[in-house]
Amino acid sequence: MLRLINTLTISYLVAVIVSTYAKVEYDIVETSSGLVRGRLDQYKSTKYYSYKGIPYAESPTGSLRFQPPVPKQPWTGVYNATQYGPVCPQSVWRYKREQMSEDCLVLNIFVPVTNNSDKLLPVVVNIHGGGFRTLSGDSQYIYGPELLLQKLVIFISVNFSETATGNAGLKDVILSLKWICKNIDKFNGDKNKITLMGHSSGASLIHYLMLTKKTTNLFQQVILISGSALNQRVLSRYPTEIALQLAHELGIQTDSIDTSTILKTLTEIDPFEISDSDGKLVLANETALQTLSLFVPNIEISSSHSILAEHPKFIVKEGLPQNVRVLTGINSMEGFYMYPRIMKRFEELQFIHQNKQILIPSDIEYPLNSRNSIELGDLIFKFYFKNDSRITHYNSDRLIEYISDIIYVYNVDLWTRIHKLRRESRELYFYEFEFDGALNWAKLMYDIQKPGVSHADELGYLFLTNITKNIIDSIDGRTRKILNTMLEFTTNFVKYG
């Protein structure tokens, strides 16, 4: 009788445990790095497995800081990939410091459940934006993958180093792509149908990956949203000087010691001190018209590790080493997200008519106050402000148009025109997004009430973002139609090219 009671008691406890955890289903995948545990999740009627925070590189700490990434050594046991990994150290945006770590080189894989488990799925690898300074591959703010998963594509997001010199972020992403190509078939993905997708600086980073032979066979297509490698803001012309400025901000004596000693000292400093100092330098150098990122890609001395050995414009003209299919586009008023900032600092703009050379793009290096510089400044001012003698609240829309062109539209238009002139170029599709609706992310984020379509507005039609996820079920029919069109348009390119 006692044995029966004990048996019943044990059976009851087992039943309680099973019922408690029955709602969570796990999946273990064997990768080249080791076993990875993911979990089954669901959005509406779409079930999918998520594998989060999978490390693809060793922690870039100590002597590995600022160096090319080192592949992750295989682990023993099962890696628990049910939580996002750390965010790379950064001085802006809204992540808490406890969410950050230098050991942040991880990727996240989301695999929709399909009726045909034998058919390999096309893969989207998303490279986040953020000006090479901020954001992450997680879904806390922008990159919720659920909408794309409904279209039965695998979605992968990648973390890479920021506020770091030597094209570290580019090299991180290349290593992550090698890991993906080696392992994606274990997740039911097709390594021959990999599309890189990036917005803003993420698009610029991907364009850089098209300019190097080191990415051969790592991807077949790209989606470049509002960005390219020809954007003058994403190529550092003076990387050594900027590194010395950072060292000085950190209290390192830069006059009497060589750069190798400075670099060694930087590897010993707390990473949060470095990111905070980077933030201070950015604030000290930005203007009402432009925010800056200091540690962006740069031209390197040619070596076995170098990614970019000449100016991107020359490589584009010569022909891209990675001649893949391209989907690229812009928004109708890219600079609109700057509107609140411009209104806040409008007094600074009152003096532009006295020194119109400020309007000249930074990659046009006319000597200040030279005849060419003065004449070009006058021409730019007249082109945008017509017969107005100064910038006012009444013509501020023209200022937004100038910012849109100078930061985003011109560089995208330029590289696509050059690309199309080459006969051997693969297919290139160009679009303009001009829908002003309920899911326009940037306008919601920055509380912009004026009509127009800003930089980053289309993200609400591709991702389940922090702002749009609570309103997406109640949007009007017109917005719903555009949402479905954007998702279909994007994933059709991913699937069929």
pLDDT band at residue 93 under the 50/70/90 scheme: low
> In the CATH scheme, what is the homologous superfamily, with its name and number, of domain 27-347+433-497?
Alpha/Beta hydrolase fold, catalytic domain (3.40.50.1820)
Rounded Cα gap, residues 41 and 150, in angstroms? 13
* pLDDT tens digits, one per residue of 193-237: 999 999 999 999 999 999 999 999 999 999 999 999 999 889 988
Mean pLDDT of 356-378: 89
* pLDDT tens digits, one per residue of 255-280: 767 778 888 888 889 999 988 888 88
Is the pLDDT confidence value at 88 over 60? yes
Nearest to 117 by CA among 81, 152, 149, 157: 152
Is the pLDDT confidence value at 102 over 90? yes
pLDDT of residue 164: 67
Of 51-60, 222-231, 288-297, 331-340, which range is least confident?
288-297
Is the pLDDT confidence value at 5 over 80? no
Is the pLDDT confidence value at 117 over 70? yes
Mean pLDDT of 43-58: 97
Mean pLDDT of 464-480: 97
Task: Judge whether 209 and 297 are in contact, CB under 8 Å.
Answer: no
| Catalytically annotated residues | 200
Between 281 and 495, the higher pLDDT residue: 495
Residue holding tokens 């409008």?
A: 346
Task: Judge whether 467 and 480 are in contact, CB under 8 Å.
Answer: no
pLDDT band at residue 165 under the 50/70/90 scheme: low
